[in-house]
Structure 1
Amino acid sequence: MLRLLSVVALVAGLGLAALPVSQAAPTGPLTPAVIDDYLEAALDSTGLPGLSAVVTHGDRIVHAGGYGHESGGRPVTADTPMRVASLSKSFTATAVMILVDEGRISLDGTVSEQLPGFTTADARGAAVTVRQLLNQTSGLTDPTVDIGRLQEAASLEDYVSRLNTATLASEPGTRFKYCNVNYNLAARLVEVASGLSFGAFLAQRVFEPLGMTRSAVNDQNIAPAEGYNSIFGAWVSRPELPGFLDDSGSGGVITSAADMGKWLISHNGGGRQVLSPAALATTHASSPVDKYAMGWAPEDADPALLVHSGNLFTYTAFQAIDPATGYGFAVFANSAALHDDTYDIVNGLVALSRGQAPAEVGGDRQIFELVLALIAFGAVGLGILGALRSRRWAHRHARRAWWRVALRLTPLALPVMLFAAYPQIISAITGGRTVTWSQLTYFAAPLSITLLLTTAAGASTVALRMIRLRSVRSTG
Structure 2
Amino acid sequence: MKRKLIGLVAGIGLVTSVSVAPAAQAVRAGAGLTPAAIDAYLAESMESTGLPGMSIVVTHKDKVVHAAGYGRDSDGEPVTAHTPMRVASVSKSFTAMAVMTLVDDGKIALDEPVARQLPEFRMADPRAAQITVRQLLNQTSGLSDSTVDIGATEAATSLAGYVSTLRTGRLAADPGTRWAYCNVNYDLAARLVEVAGGLSFGDYLKQRVFGPLGMTHSAVSDQAVKPAAGFNSIYGAWVSRPELPGFLNGGGSGGVITDAADMGSWLISQTGSGRQLVTAKSLQAMHTPSKVRDYGMGWGSDTMGGAKLLVHSGNLFTYNAVEAVSPDTGYGFAVMANGTALHDDTYNVLTGLVAMSQGRTPDVPGGDRQLFELVLGLIALAAAALGALGALRSRRWARRRAGRPGWRIGLRLVPSLLPVLLLACYPQLISFLMNDRTVTWAQLTYFAAPMTITLVVAAVAGAVTAATRLLSVVSPR
* TM-score range normalised by the length of the shorter chain: over 0.9
Cα deviation 1:211-267 (Å, max 9, x = unaligned): 001100010000012100000011000000011523210000000011001000000
2:101 to 72, 92, 98: 98
Shift of 1:359: 2.1
Whether 1:238 and 2:248 are equivalent positions in the alignment is: no
Structure-2 change in CA distance of 1:397 and 1:444 (3 Å)? same
Check if 1:428 corresponds to 2:432.
Answer: yes
Q: Distance in 1 between matches of 2:6 and 2:446?
A: 22
The alpha-carbon deviation at position 358 of structure 1 amounts to: 1.3
Distance in 2 (CA, whole Å) between partners of 1:400 and 1:68 is 62
For each residue in 1:44-97, what CA deviation from the matched residue of structure 2 results, as whole angstroms up to 9, or x when unmatched?
110000000000011011100010011121111100001100000000000000
| Percent identity over paired residues | 62
Q: Give me the TM-score of the superposition, normalised by structure 2.
A: 0.94
Give the TM-score of the pair, scaled to structure 1: 0.94
- Work out which of the residue numbers 37, 41, 45 in structure 1 matches 2:40: 37
Gaps in structure 1 of 5+ consecutive residues: 1-8
- Listed one character per residue, the Cα deviations across residues 4-57 of structure 1 (whole Å, up to 9, x for unaligned) are xxxxx9944489xx99x9985655552100011111111111000000000001
Aligned residues: 462
Picking from 125, 149, 156, the partner of 1:122 is 125
Cα distance in 2, alignment partners of residues 165 and 418 from structure 1: 30
Do 1:287 and 1:293's aligned partners in 2 also have CA atoms closer than 8 Å?
yes
The answer on whether the counterparts of 1:51 and 1:333 sit within 8 Å (CA) in structure 2 is yes
Give SS of 2:418's match.
helix
1:22–1:358: 8 Å Cα contact kept in structure 2?
no
Deviation, structure 1 residue 268: 0.4
Which one of the candidate residues 353, 372, 377 is aligned to 1:373? 377
| Residue in 2 that maps onto 1:444 | 448
Contact preservation (8 Å) 1:319, 1:331: yes
Q: Distance in 1 between matches of 2:315 and 2:277?
A: 26
Where do 5+ consecutive residues of structure 2 fail to align? 14-23
* 2:467 alignment counterpart: 463
d(CA) in 2 for partners of 1:70, 1:326:
31
What is the aligned partner in structure 2 of residue 83 from structure 1?
86
- Two-structure CA RMSD over aligned residues (Å): 1.9
Contact 1:23/1:357 (CA < 8 Å) preserved in 2? no
Native 8 Å contact 2:230 2:240 kept in 1: yes
Within the alignment, does 1:329 sit opposite 2:333 as a pair?
A: yes
Partners of 1:219 and 1:246 within 8 A in 2: no
Task: Render the CA deviation track for 1:390-430: whole Å, top value 9, x for unaligned.
Answer: 11111111221111111111111111100001001100111
Contact 1:52-1:78 within 8 A present in 2 as well: yes
Task: Tell me if the contact between 1:25 and 1:355 (Cα under 8 Å) persists in the aligned partners.
Answer: no
The partner residue of 1:183 within 183, 186, 202 is: 186
1:288 to 287, 291, 298: 291
Is the contact made by 1:50 and 1:66 (CA closer than 8 Å) also made in structure 2? yes
Match for residue 261 of structure 2? Answer: 258
In structure 1, the residue matched to 2:387 is 383
Partner of 1:310: 314
Asked whether the 8 Å contact 2:30–2:361 carries over to 1, the reply is no
Alignment partners' CA distance in 2, 1:183 and 1:288: 19
Distance in 2, matches of 1:103 and 1:148, equals 35
Query: What is the CA deviation profile of residues 365-388 of structure 1, one whole-angstrom value per residue up to 9, with x for unaligned ones?
Result: 111001100100100111111111
